[in-house]
Chain A
Amino acid sequence: MRELNNHTLHSWLRDDLEGRLSDTDRGLLYAYLEQHPEADPETADDIRLSAPVMAYPDKADLYQAGFTLPDMTEADYLCIAAMEDDAFPEQTEQFEARRRQDPEFERLYATFLHTRLQPDPAIRIPNPESLRRKVIRIPAYVYGALSTAALLLLAFFIFKPDSGTQTENQHLANEHAREIIYLNKLRHPASYDLIALSGIREKKPVNRQPARISDSASLFFSDDRSLEPMRTLSARTSPSVMVAALPPAPHILNRARIQPEPLAYQTLWAYTGELIRKSVLGQDPELVKSTRFSLWEVADAGLEKAADWLSVQADISREYNEAGELKEVHFSSPLVAFSAPVSSAPLR
């Protein structure tokens, strides 16, 4: 037998409606509903409390007549409310009535109307053009060029050019000093390159005149720059000459087409260096025997490839002082050109 309680009551009621209850069960259900009238859906509404219908007698007192300020007269308030279009209907009626009846009130309202401020159109912001904005879409190749330049500069300032090649270059230059002097005596074009490229400007020599070997056996440039003597040689054509120290530039010898002696053997390091020089830097490894790379060599090669790829002319040139230290870097391209002085202070 099913249990009949408050939880199962709805099930019992449904069964009763659908005629599934036996007489006994129906008797039980009705008896239960008589004992628990609050559970019967039909009688529940009757036993709930309902709010009595009552009305507050002084409701009118509770309405807000409007906004008031303690230190403001009613006349002022009415005038401002009318002026600001802020009055309640009752206030508007009161305002209109007072205007009609009281000339003083009318004058007060007229005074209030004069307090409305008018903007001065003569006041204008100077140079409004500076506030305007324009979106410029930079083509991809410009991004490429700028990025390349930025990377090169960044790389330069992070990794100072390796001065380790200087000794090697000096050594090579000294080794071929006799040939330089000989070529110079003959006014051979190769000596033009050698001398000019060993001067202040590496890629863009100002003066491409050949060096002159004087009777006093000292080597001078034609622009009378003083040269730091390095060592004394005994040349066939000159009893004793002073030879200038060439600044670090591995490709000087390359350009002069001076063939150094081939190496007898190659380490893995040297082979890799040659490979990179040949395939990446586009240099002839037979002419440049250094296994160390200057950052400038990489930068030159990178810029050259980028310029070829973009079909633009771009160039980086360096300016050295007389001591062979890098003084200034120049970058030029159709889009951007700049010169950056190089500090000799060590990077931190």
Chain B
Amino acid sequence: MTVKEYNQSVNQYADAVYRFILKNIRDEEKARDVVQDAFERLWKNVSKVEGSKARSYLFTTAYHAMIDQLRKDARETGMEHAPVSGYCHTEQYSDLHEVLNEAVERLPADQKSVVLLRDYEGYSYREIAEITNLSEAQVKVYIYRARVFLKNYIGSVERVI
């Protein structure tokens, strides 16, 4: 990977990685640190990473840094994942996007990560499995469960005013 390719990957992927991390950890400062750390690692390995693999490398590195961060935060606050079932948006609403965002925030971390990678970045099950170190079957299960949760949360589309 050349310096030019590295800088191109900054242009192409920095925002995407940042969005993905920010959606997961909901802390701009920490998200920025994670992204900077990912690019720092990419720069250190610039001679080893192929230009075509930069995106995957960045997401993989950022994902694992994010998991470490989440674990650290969980230890500090003693908070566990919110249970998936039991949440449902029962009232009518005007902004489906907003409700969907609420629903995503309530997803368990694993499910949230894989569904974000799937929808935001369009990664295949296999690519998501490589990034997250899960099996393809696990990725598929997480995505299916997340879809059901999101569907149950937003309820029926008829609720949209």
| Contact of B96 with A114 in the complex, beta carbons under 8 Å | yes
Known: A69-B145, A132-B10, A133-B3. Contact between A116 and B18, CB under 8 A?
no
| Contact of B3 with A67 in the complex, beta carbons under 8 Å | no
A123–B39 Cα distance when bound, in Å, is: 18
Closest approach, in angstroms, between the C-beta of B40 and any C-beta of chain A? 9
Q: State which of A79-87, A252-260, A285-293 sits at the interface with chain B.
A: A79-87
Q: State which of B49-57, B66-74, B75-83, B136-144 sits at the interface with chain A.
A: B136-144
Q: State which of A105-113, A144-152, A161-169, A176-184 sits at the interface with chain B.
A: A105-113
Known: A110-B157, A124-B18. Contact between A135 and B3, CB under 8 A?
yes
| Contact of A133 with B157 in the complex, beta carbons under 8 Å | no
Q: Does A134 contact B (CB under 8 A)?
A: yes
A323–B157 Cα distance when bound, in Å, is: 87
From B120, B140, B144, A117 is in contact (CB under 8 Å) with B120
A67–B135 Cα distance when bound, in Å, is: 15
Taking residues whose C-beta sits less than 8 angstroms from the other chain, chain A's interface range is 20 to 34
User: Which residues in window 121-161 of B have CB below 8 A to A?
Assistant: 140-141, 143-145, 147-148, 150-151, 154-158
| Contact of A117 with B119 in the complex, beta carbons under 8 Å | yes
| Contact of B154 with A111 in the complex, beta carbons under 8 Å | yes
Known: A117-B115, A132-B10. Contact between A83 and B120, CB under 8 A?
no
A80–B156 Cα distance when bound, in Å, is: 16
> Chain B residues with Cβ under 8 A from A72's Cβ?
144-145, 148
Which residue from chain B places its CB closest to the CB of A116 in the assembled complex?
B119
A115–B11 Cα distance when bound, in Å, is: 29
Q: Does A53 contact B (CB under 8 A)?
A: no
Q: Does A90 contact B (CB under 8 A)?
A: no
Q: Does B64 contact A (CB under 8 A)?
A: no
| Contact of A128 with B147 in the complex, beta carbons under 8 Å | no
> Chain A residues with Cβ under 8 A from B7's Cβ?
132-133
> Chain A residues with Cβ under 8 A from B158's Cβ?
107
Q: Does A131 contact B (CB under 8 A)?
A: yes
Q: Does A120 contact B (CB under 8 A)?
A: yes
- Which of B10, B28, B141, B154 is most buried by chain A, counting CB atoms within 10 A of its CB? B10
| Contact of B14 with A134 in the complex, beta carbons under 8 Å | no
Known: A69-B145, A111-B157. Contact between A131 and B36, CB under 8 A?
yes
Chain A contacts to B: CB under 8 angstroms:
67, 69, 72, 76-77, 80, 83-84, 86, 107-108, 110-112, 114-120, 123-126, 128, 130-135
